[in-house]
Structure 1
């Protein structure tokens, strides 16, 4: 039976529907889905275009020259869609050089997945956020890159942000129990603290 198609819930735990709080980065490993934008956020934020507007306000943008190296990663949000590739991948947008500078100097980075399947239609947005090394270090994840990436995004989002005349209010709550602390099953064997940031975003 479907859990619901219910905008009154922040999200459904993907594990209930046979999903995972890790995306699939390779055989047996994944990246933590360490930020969730609540399904109780303003509806206009919970679309790909609306999220992109919000992401611009947080200092993210599309990849340099719309070029992506490496295969997209899938996630299973337990909503009946199974393993689905990321909807979009965004990088830190430097004031000078934009996301091309992120490719060279490193910075924050996210993948977006939407929980909207027939078995668990919360509308919530699940993000895999990580901080990357510079090009000289092979653009891999920094030693604390999953927690650090999450915390950088939260720091930039908390309170009021604005882009293109649209103003957003973001309230943050940290959740435990969705991710296991430590490095088991985590890509690059990077330990995480197990916390997930739940953001409720309101368009003002």
Structure 2
């Protein structure tokens, strides 16, 4: 019987790890993910997870969740480094998986429910939802405004063939001001 509870415990733990991975990667570019050697989740990702899992309500609001996040981060950054206990450098504002598990324990305590109830709601969730995400209001207008065939003169240079803006290189002519004589503007002529 004990083997069954440990296998269900490991599946709950792996479900928490999957949810942690999904929400910590949500909304980040590949470059942002490559900057860190381990995944970390900030308060925005935690807020989204708790909303998607229906853990926030009129009794346990997002303000109370922010307070729990601050309390757990405070404990993790101010405590002395002990063997087996996660310790974060001062000023850290994100959680790695071990710290996130401590936060889940704190949330369960604040809500007055069991740790397993929080984990089961997180495990039932399929990942970050895209409800209430801003979409392009009128795609026809956006397409028309980025279609370079409709522009003349220098405005045509502001967008590439796919309709993406070129930024400064599409608006400004860069002048090469290198040379031996001060103010000389015609290099390599």
The two structures have a TM-score, normalised by structure 1, of 0.28
- The structure richer in helix per residue is 2
Higher relative strand content: 1
Bigger Cα Rg: 2
After TM superposition, the score normalised by the length of structure 2 is 0.29
